[in-house]
């Protein structure tokens, strides 16, 4: 499975393959980074994510963690933790997000009440999923 996506203004385009997982993150950092009540992500091996147009700007949101976004329009795109072999891509920047369905929630210990209706019935993890 090959999926394509990009930012709001179109300056950054990417391609990913072999999605491993999709999930909702309710952490406070994703909330700030996206301006949304919760943020859906798709996980892929680092080598299965490729920027095919433009250059992502990056921000170190925690030690060893880089968040990639479009430096022109600001769309958040990538979460890259140096010690992991996988990266996470914002589901909402895919050209067809409904091709993937989140299967669980993480960091529900900081979930907002307004996000209750998202992904009803899915497993909820207070912090990271195991």
Scanning residues 50 to 89, which ones bind Zn ion (CB under 5 A)?
Answer: 70, 72-73
Choose the stretch contacting Zn ion; rule: CB under 5 A; options: 18-26, 60-68, 95-103, 122-130.
Answer: 18-26
Spatial separation of the C-alpha atoms in residues 97 and 100, rounded to whole Å: 6
Q: In the structure encoding, which two tokens stand for residue 120, read together? A: 């009803």
Q: Binder to Zn ion among 3, 16, 22, 27 (CB under 5 A)?
A: 27
Other beta carbons within 10 Å of 8? 12
Give the H/E segment covering residue 4.
strand 2-6
**Would residue 30 be called left, alpha or beta, if left means φ above 0 and alpha means ψ between -120 and 50 degrees?**
alpha
Q: Binder to Zn ion among 3, 16, 22, 25 (CB under 5 A)?
A: 25
Minimum gap (Å) between residue 24 Cβ and Zn ion: 9
Name the residue nearer to Zn ion (CB basis): 3 or 90.
90
Place of tokens 């980074």: 33
Using CB under 5 A, list all residues that contact Zn ion.
Answer: 7, 9, 11, 25, 27, 30, 70, 72-73
């Amino acid at each position: 499975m090959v999926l394509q996506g990009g930012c709001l203004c179109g300056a950054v385009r990417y391609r990913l393959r072999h999605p491993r997982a999709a999930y909702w993150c309710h952490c406070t950092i994703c909330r700030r980074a996206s301006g949304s009540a919760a943020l859906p992500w798709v996980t892929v091996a680092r080598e299965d994510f490729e920027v095919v147009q433009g250059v992502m700007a990056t921000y170190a949101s925690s030690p060893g963690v880089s968040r990639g976004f479009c430096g022109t329009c600001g769309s958040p795109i990538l979460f890259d933790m140096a010690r992991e072999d996988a990266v996470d891509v914002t589901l909402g920047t895919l050209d067809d997000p409904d091709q993937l369905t989140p299967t669980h929630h993480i960091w529900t210990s900081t979930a907002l009440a307004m996000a209750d209706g998202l992904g009803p019935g899915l497993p909820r993890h207070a912090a990271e999923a195991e």
